[in-house]
Structure 1
Amino acid sequence: MLNAVNNFFSAFGATVVVPIMIFIIALFLKVRPKVAMMSAFYAGVGLTGFGWIITEFTPVVTKIIRQMVKTTGINLPVVDIGWQAGSLASFGSSVGLTFFVFGLIVELILFALGITKVFMASNLWNNFGFMVWGAMAYYVTHNFWLSLGLSFFMLLYTLILAEIQADRWSDYYGVKNATVCSLHNIEQTIPAILLDPLWNLLGLNKVKMTPSAFKDKLGVFGEPTTLGILLGFIIGVLGNLKDLGTLQAWGQILQFSIQLAAVMTIFPLVTNVFAKAFTPLADEIDKNRKQESQAEGKEIDKINDKKRWFLAVDDGVGYGEPATIIAGVILIPIMVLIAFLLPGNKTLPIVDLISLPFMVESIVAITRGNILKVIANGIVWFSLGLYASSWLGTIYTGAVSHYGAAIPAGVVLITSFNLIARPMNALVFAAFISQNPVWIGVCVVVYLVMLFGLRKYRPQIWTYLNKMADKNAGYSGSSEKIEY
């Protein structure tokens, strides 16, 4: 059966499987068949658009970054070749395929029992994030059940983090009753919450570093397209420092400026199409909840509504939002520089740098689009992530090569900056592969405490996060965002 699932997914891919899932879920939510069909089509079109843009832009940005590395002469042995290799390896392992089949069932059970308020089944494609860690654990321990247990445990705490930031994400990105829930992009909720008092103490909350502020103060130079030109120019110059006297260098610099501007201009358009896949579903959830409340003779209070639940949507829904893509692109040269300067780091982020806007969405939502805070949180958390991926370089390389993904010639160790540079996931992974009941038990206890706290104090947690967000100058929600 597992091979049949693998063959099915390999034959059709995410651009077909995800729309099918969305169509089925839409019908289950009693969305009209015509609307459900269009939601499915928009999902397929959006995913295809993302794939085309990233496929075209990845080799361009990779070339520039490699030139920056060559200019500095610094050699880091663990090379980021992108998340795709990890995805392929996760479907090539027995642990990964087992989770793909039974993970969906468990996600439905957890939702039905009320253990989670997030309907994760709508985000089936991103299950590979759990699968790859299980595959790595199995490669190290050869313990099937321990490795599968790790994948399921990661699912459990991912659902908690997704629910914690759900109200903020839904409000900020303007998709009712929706949240992101991928393992590789959700743990940034932790630094966004824990470090916020420090950033406020330093006055970062008073700095109006938001897309709307850029637009008001800089005019045309504050538009995402123009910012793409400027950022592309800076990155292009850094990649050609030794050749600035040549025509070829300036040709590449100016071409990269236009290419980055194109990404920052076109991605929001594709994002808008992709969001149309989930909006009817989210609206139907909202409509059904309002009807239930009217029948009960009550007025909906979304913070205290115990029956409120969230649809897990793909991170691509928020990728093109102005603050998200601007902060992510600004972090590209910063993280390369940090990789060079960080003592003991062995990881060179390259291909997954284009994924940085995906990686900062939770931070953007919690900080209400405060780009300065997003960058500060990213520097702290992703720097710790570089150490995590440096430690895991040998394990990840071995697992990927063992389960069938090709490793580029001349590369000794590989990683995925998006999948593996994850401090919390790395700590949980370390506890499980130790096979020490004490460390595994600590993880379970922490999870149970978090689950109890969320179930008992969810309204208070959401109220606190909203108060945190309100302390930031500038953005106050989707109504004030730059229109796509």
Structure 2
Amino acid sequence: MIFIIALFLKVKPKTAMMSAFYAGVGLTGFGWIISQFTPVVTTIIKQMVDNTGIDLPVVDIGWQAGSLATFGSSVGLTFFVFGLLFELIIFALGITKIFMPSNLWNNFGFMLWGTLAYFVTQNVWLSLGLSFFMLLYALLLAEVQADRWSDYYGVKNATVSSLHNIEQVIPALILDPLWNLLGFNKVKMTPAAFKDKLGVFGEPTTLGALLGLIIGIIGNLNNLGDLKAWGQILQFAIQLSAVMTIFPLVTGVFAKAFTPLAEEIDKNRQTKAAEQGEVTDELNDKKRWFLGVDDGVGYGEPATIISGVILIPIMVVIAFLLPGNKTLPIVDLIALPFMVESIVALTRGNILKVIANGIVWFTLGLYASSWLGTIYTGAVSHYGAAIPAGVVLITSFNLVARPLNALVFAAFITQNPLWIGLCIVIYLGLLFGLRRYRAQIWTYLKQMADKNAGFSGSSDKIEY
């Protein structure tokens, strides 16, 4: 898909071919690192759970089971085919300025919720309607954050648009005035500030080792007198340090897949604007559009991966203390850096704000996941994989612990025209506002991001 898009944008065949290879190599690298690191993290987290005595019935076994189920359902497969056509049509009509087909894989997020709805209602049209509606508002949120994401992560005219990682735009927007009131914007908690203040101890490699040491100790609190436990602690410290060192390098390779495309988009935009005598300012250019890219592009950026790793033990503790929660996040905790990208971009890497937003939103997500536990387990066992032995209910912290998505899902499965209609009306109102005031929205978000102290620029973020 990347190769085809590149040729369509009149990128030289050689460059288009290399873009396609870089995309494949980057994704493969992500897969290798995460597949090797996930069992390690899972082991430590399970030990943390055992030490705290957590007993929660809805167990997070990772997003893979959910994605598999989407391709095993008729609703999921139908959306995979017609969703692609729909994405092309709404882009051509200007309903969205995000070219989603370049991020084709992440369609499984929309397919998942349609599959869950069909499992509950057995209504094909309603379930497909839910998937298409979620696509529409995900693209709207992706466009709202697009200028900030592109600026912060250093990939021109690109943004993430996956359903499971885009709704964090909501808390980042709503809660930012509160965090500023509390003075969070004045706290210099950015990778650049860490390096300035801590020297070598502020480097992601060293921070990874220190965070790994802390998490490892928490996971072995009952065995600190055991030499074997310290072996595991020190090994995990090096493994986390390796992830935080290697991931940015792989991210840099992956970003190379989109750089020629993004630059060509920008070149074409400026050429057309010059021919027509129009303003070429990026914030005010109504014709500016963006490639939908995989969230992996931003995973290895220092503020992103540091924030995500810090949130791992925090979310485990919250899951234990939260009244009424039934969800135990385990495997998908490694996906937390993916889950905070929008917040990182909108707050310009203010790690304190990222953690605060994550705590609020993902705590609400635990309630959503707890409510959906029975539905998700039934759908996955029916359309996808077998449930692991000894597990009562399953979930995916990354896919299902989503307050906004769960709320829309709840409205649709009522099959009540009033609630469904309300969702559509709200979306249309927001779309109208975005189309009419996009420049003002982006200007506000830039001003909002600039209020954060300690930011030293984002041009070198990907190549860190």
Residue 186 of structure 2 is aligned to residue 214 of structure 1: no
Amino acid at match of 2:89: I
2:368 aligned with 1:397: no
Q: Which residue of 1 aligns with 2:334?
A: 354
Query: Match for residue 202 of structure 1?
Result: 182
Q: Please show how residues 8-407 of structure 1 align to structure 2 within 5 Å.
A: 21-407=1-387
Tell me which residue corresponds to 1:433. 413
Report the Cα offset of residue 89 of structure 1.
0.3
Q: How far apart are residue 482 of structure 1 and its match?
A: 8.4
In the aligned structure 1, how far is the partner of 2:380 from the partner of 2:354? Answer: 31
Alignment check: 8 A CA contact 2:154 2:462 kept: no
Q: Deviations over 1:52-110 (max 9, x none)?
A: 00000000000000011111112011000100000000000000000000000000000
The Cα offsets for residues 139-169 of structure 1, whole Å up to 9 and x where unpaired, read as 0100011000000000000011000000000
Report the counterpart of residue 10 of structure 1 in structure 2. none
| Corresponding residue number in structure 2 for 1:12 | none
Q: Is the 8 A contact 1:171 1:477 kept in 2?
A: no
| Aligned position for 1:6 | none
Distance 1:39 1:467 in 2: 33
The CA distance in 1 between the partners of 2:379 and 2:385, in whole Å, is 9
C-alpha displacement at 1:481, in angstroms? Answer: 4.3
Give the whole-Å Cα distance in 2 for the aligned partners of 1:121 and 1:474.
36
* Cα distance, 1:374–1:399 mapped onto 2, change above 3 Å: same
| Corresponding residue SS for 2:303 | helix
Give 1:166's aligned amino acid: A
User: Which whole-Å CA distance do the structure 2 matches of 1:183 and 1:243 have between them?
Assistant: 41
After superposition, the C-alpha distances for 1:19-54 in whole angstroms (9 at most, x for unaligned) are xx1111111111111011001101111111000000
Equivalent pairs counted in the alignment come to: 464
Q: Is the 8 Å Cα contact of residues 185 and 451 (structure 2) preserved in structure 1? A: yes
What SS is found at the alignment partner of 2:459? helix
Q: Which one-letter code corresponds to 1:297 in the other structure?
A: G
Structure 2 counterpart SS, 1:312: strand
Q: Tell me how far apart the structure 1 counterparts of residues 66 and 144 of structure 2 sit (CA, whole Å).
A: 27
Give 1:352's aligned amino acid.
D
Q: Which residue of 2 aligns with 1:415?
A: 395
The one-letter code matched in structure 2 to 1:69 is V
Percent identical: 84
Amino acid at match of 1:276: K
C-alpha contact (below 8 Å) 1:212/1:481 kept by paired residues: no
CA contact (8 A) 1:206 1:473 kept: yes
Report the 3-state secondary structure (helix = DSSP H, G, I; strand = E; otherwise coil) of the residue aligned with 2:394. strand
Which residues of structure 2 form unaligned runs of 5+? none
Of the candidates 406, 419, 435, which is equivalent to residue 455 of structure 1? 435
CA contact (8 A) 1:470 1:476 kept: no
- Structure 2 letter corresponding to 1:55: S
Tell me the TM-score normalised to structure 2 length. Answer: 0.99
What's the secondary structure of 1:165's corresponding residue? helix
Measured on the aligned residues, the alpha-carbon RMSD in Å equals: 0.9
